[in-house]
Amino acid sequence: MIVYILTIFLFLVGLYGVLSKRNLIKIVIGLAIMEYSVNLFLILVGYVRGGTAPIIDADRQGELFVDPLPQAMVLTAIVIGLATTALLLAIAIRIYKKYGTFDIREIKNLKG
Amino acid sequence: MDSFIPLFVVVPLGGAFLTALVGSFVKGWGRYFTSILLAFLAGFSGWLMFSMPGPIVYSVGGWELFEKVPIGIHMVVDGLTVYLLIIINLIGFLSAFYSIAYIKKFTAENNYYTLFFLMVAGMNGVVISGDLFNIYVFLEIAAIASYALVAFGIEKEELEASFKYQVLGGASSLFILLSIGFLYWKTSTLNIADVSRIILRGGKDEIVIFAQVILLAGFGLKAAMIPFHAWLPDAHSSAPSPISSMLSGVLIKAIGAYVIIRLFFNMFEITYKVSLVITVIGTLSMVVGVLLAIGQWDIKRLLAYHSISQMGYVVLGVGIGMLVISQGGKTSVASLAIAGGLFHLFNHAVFKGLLFLNAGAVEYRTGTRNMKKLGGLAPHMPVTASTSLFASMSISGIPPFNGFFSKLIIIIAAVQARYLVLSILAVFVSIITLASFLKVQRFTFFNKSSDEWVEKGVREVPFPMCFSMIFLAVLCVVLSLLIVPSVRELILTPAVDVLIKAGSYSAAVLGY
């Protein structure tokens, strides 16, 4: 049970980073932490105590397997996360070129 | 007919691939290719609506049910889905056609059309997917394409808006994924129909309630409902105008409101608490959105705030329907409220799409969106001015335009369900909307002698832009016909029935 609580805690750590940090790169890192915690949570959901890798074989009948579906989901989620993070960093670099800073307090052309 | 369903995803995805590939050798390829493919999809979804015998379920890869347990991925097309598909592909086609002239000023035309295709593929995928995790995947495809499109101008404002949109959008996607994880934990399945059966059998459960809360937060962020709206005015006003019209007209509906409606009607049990939360969020968005809108001087920013307010109407209509159902009230009242909400969803796509295209046309010729610097454009841009008048009257609810009828239905339903306060608020918001669009009309198209524009050579926009605007303006009037019972039976009623008979979705997919 404690592991589940720790993953949720990790999610909150990432959320705290996104909400309170003022540096664009640190915000991206916060989002990445949130993403890892969700991935960990999905893996835990599919975990079976004492289970082995889910490969069905003639001489491994009757063994206990972990659930392979969340693992497939996590692989997809990692790929999506890569795309999101790459785009975020690309935009952050562009912002740095235009504004000359990563500080969100100075990047505020849009408001109202 | 079943095997044609994946075309809605395959065609735009293939289009994106071909545009990226062929477009770098053939100049101007993406321009016409996008419009042709999206016109085909719009026509196909229209044909599907009239010829569909009932819900169509397609099993991807031929993985049928195994002893009544779904093991494959399903694509489900029913009344509500096909209604959304028409909106997405029709507005998509008109925006793409408008882009032919508009987007010439940008250098990377091919990348624009590639991303456009990806966004449409993602939205079509979300709508036809019958599986929670596929909804997440397609939602991310649409969202990532839209992040990139918002930043397409790569100026200071665009980059800032896109970053803000990405951080909030990324957080909301993670909330959605987390809640999918919780639902999988509880039910050991991802198929919406199967999840629904297991949840209903299991009765009340804390994990399900927690999943509902995170899900509502995630999709509320995507739909820009009021506590979660901060990204919308920046992102929608910074994007190129045809993209603003896609984002405001379609994206927030297809990946926000549609999924909320679908999951909370067809997957979860409708409880009083959840319906109350949805109604309150809808009302708040409706009122606060319009109050924030009225002080704006940037046309597109004003329109973006109105999107929040008008989506509030949609959610309010659906929320009243949920409240009535959860309290065991009359089905006729509930279906009237839901019909009003869904009708307003289509209307909003049409008139808000048109208004953003108008704003784009004004910006295209004059180079500014600030209403303080505009004025007196009506004699120089007659098509833009008249279509914008159509859309403004439609959004502020003046008969005989479509916006009047959908608002009227929502208000009547609110009165019949004994929520008088909500109906009064809806009328009040409609009046403020009218005031704010009078401001737009006055400061943009009238109010000033216009010699200045003659010197600058301001004239009507090119044909593709005019065509899209006129088409949408005609739709503003024609859609009022949905109020006629026989037409409503054909288009709106199948969509409403899917939601009222909540179990029918699971029955269609699982076959029992």
- pLDDT, averaged per 10 consecutive residues of chain B (512 residues), comes to 87 94 86 93 92 87 84 90 94 94 85 94 94 94 94 89 93 94 91 91 86 93 90 91 93 93 92 93 93 90 94 94 91 93 94 94 90 86 92 91 93 93 94 93 82 80 93 93 88 90 88 80
Show the CA angle centred on residue B501, arms to residues B483 and B63, nearest 5°.
Answer: 115
Gap from A18 CA to chain B (nearest CA, Å): 8
Q: Which of B253, B398, B236 is nearest to B313 (CA)?
A: B253
CB contact under 8 A, B140 and A24: no
Interface membership of B189 toward A (CB under 8 Å): no
In this prediction, the residues of chain A whose per-residue pLDDT falls under 50 are: none
3-state SS, B4-72, equals: HCCHHHHHHHHHHHHHHHHCCCCCCHHHHHHHHHHHHHHHHHHHHHHHCCCCEEEEHHHCCCECCECCC
Q: Which of B391, B377, B105, B353 is nearest to B253 (CA)?
A: B353
Sort out which chain B residues have CB atoms less than 8 A from A35's CB and list them. Answer: 170, 174
CATH number of residue A42's parent domain: 1.10.287.3510
Closest to A84 (Cβ–Cβ): which among B162, B170, B178? B170
Q: What is the pLDDT of residue B232?
A: 92
CB contact under 8 A, A84 and B238: no
User: Would you state the structure tokens that stand for residue B349, as one six-digit string?
Assistant: 């796509």
Closest to A87 (Cβ–Cβ): which among B148, B174, B178? B148
Gap from A80 CA to chain B (nearest CA, Å): 7
Q: What is the pLDDT of residue B202?
A: 81
Q: For residue B155, give the chain A residue with the closest CA.
A: A98
For residue B331, count other CB atoms closer than 10 A to its CB: 13
CB contact under 8 A, A110 and B160: yes
Gap from B367 CA to chain A (nearest CA, Å): 19
Is residue A84, in this structure, part of any structural domain at all? yes
CB contact under 8 A, B301 and A112: yes
In angstroms, the first-to-last Cα distance of chain B is 22
Q: What is the pLDDT of residue B76?
A: 92
Is residue A107, in this structure, part of any structural domain at all? no
Is residue A81, in this structure, part of any structural domain at all? yes
Domain carrying residue A80: 2-47+66-99
B219, B176 contact by CB (below 8 A): yes
Q: Which of B53, B50, B58 is nearest to B7 (CA)?
A: B58
Gap from A43 CA to chain B (nearest CA, Å): 9
CB contact under 8 A, B184 and A11: no
CB contact under 8 A, B181 and A98: no
Helical (H) or strand (E) element with B56: strand B56-59
Gap from B434 CA to chain A (nearest CA, Å): 21
Query: ipTM score here?
Result: 0.95
Q: Give the list of residues 6+ apart from residue B342 with CB closer than 8 angstroms, or none.
A: B80, B83, B314, B317, B318, B492, B495, B496
In whole angstroms, what is the distance from residue B196 CA to residue B214 CA? 17
Q: Give the list of residues 6+ apart from residue A83 with CB closer than 8 angstroms, or none.
A: B140, B144
B228, B235 contact by CB (below 8 A): no
Closest to B137 (Cβ–Cβ): which among A80, A108, A112? A80
Closest to B159 (Cβ–Cβ): which among A31, A38, A94? A94
In angstroms, the first-to-last Cα distance of chain A is 45
In whole angstroms, what is the distance from residue B509 CA to residue B9 CA? 20
> Which of B132, B158, B159, B182 is most worth mutating to test chain A (most A CB atoms within 10 A of its CB)?
B159
- Burial of residue B269, with CB atoms counted within 10 A of its CB: 0-12 exposed, 13-18 middle, 19 or more buried: middle
Closest to B137 (Cβ–Cβ): which among A45, A76, A84? A76
Is residue A109, in this structure, part of any structural domain at all? no
User: Would you state the structure tokens that stand for residue B355, as one six-digit string?
Assistant: 């208004």
B91, B245 contact by CB (below 8 A): yes
Is residue A95, in this structure, part of any structural domain at all? yes
Q: What is B415-449 written as a DSSP string?
A: HHTT-HHHHHHHHHHHHHHHHHHHHHHHHHHSSS-
Reported residue count of chain B is 512
In whole angstroms, what is the distance from residue B116 CA to residue B137 CA? 17
Report the DSSP pairing between strands B56-59 and B74-77.
Answer: antiparallel
Closest to B177 (Cβ–Cβ): which among A77, A95, A110? A77
Q: Which of B86, B187, B182, B70 is nearest to B131 (CA)?
A: B70
Is residue A112, in this structure, part of any structural domain at all? no
Encode burial over B316-328: b for 16+ CB neighbours within 10 A, e otherwise. Answer: bbbbbbbbbbbee
Domain count, chain A: 1
Is residue A33, in this structure, part of any structural domain at all? yes
